[in-house]
A and B are shown apart, each in its own frame.
Chain A
């Protein structure tokens, strides 16, 4: 199975900050990675797919990056609605595997 190692597990930030979350895959997954946002009591909502592609309707302050097997989600100018938990998911192979999650908290 492909292991996804996500960091940090949590971070504190303020409105207007730029934050970056990282996922490292245990093997080459090409660009086959998505990022999801989850708020309490809700289903995950996809933000990014195929490493870089912004899901329709998602604000442009969310962006994805890749360097080898390292993937990043960057949120520029953090907004109040962005305080949530974020997960990466590899869609290169089965079984699908998620990162452990990053909670973005208000500083």
Chain B
């Protein structure tokens, strides 16, 4: 079984940087079969894909967020992280981390964290 868990501040001030970490257990983020992803959900709204990082460190970001976004890996801790700069109230959302699989058995976002609410407010 694979588990993902998001952690980070629940409150961020406008113009500051939102930072979250996803800790993965039951799998290695060094695996070549998976893309480690972030998704968010604005309150009462639908799901928005943010971006991924691969084991090599390569990334792909949603163009709508690309200029403010950094996703990174810490293989020693089996974690990956999200940093979103210059936040506004529009970045208030529940943030999920997830595994995006292409291992030949499962495809797409198969395992998700429980999500963490981040509120942007002064």
Which residues of A come within 8 Å of B, CB atoms? 1, 32, 34, 36, 42-46, 49-50, 55, 87, 89, 91, 94-101
A69 CB → nearest B CB, Å: 17
Tell me which residues across on chain B come within 8 A of A36, comparing CB atoms: 109
Q: How many A-B residue pairs have CB under 8 A?
A: 59
Inter-chain contacts of B109 with A (CB < 8 A) = 34, 36, 44, 46, 89, 91, 96
Binary contact track B65-76/A, C-beta < 8 Å → 1, others 0: 000000000000
B21 CB, min distance to chain A CBs, angstroms: 17
Chain B contact residues: helix, strand, loop or mixed: strand
Kindly supply a per-residue 1/0 record for chain B positions 97-122, scoring 1 wherever the CB is within 8 Å of any chain A CB and 0 otherwise: 00010000011111011110000000
Interface string of B12-40 (1 = CB under 8 A from A): 00000000000000000000000001000
Give which listed residue, A34, A43, A45, A101, contacts B108 with CB less than 8 A. A34
Contacts of A95 in B (CB 8 A): 49, 51, 60, 62-63
Task: Find the B residue at minimum CB distance from A100.
Answer: B46
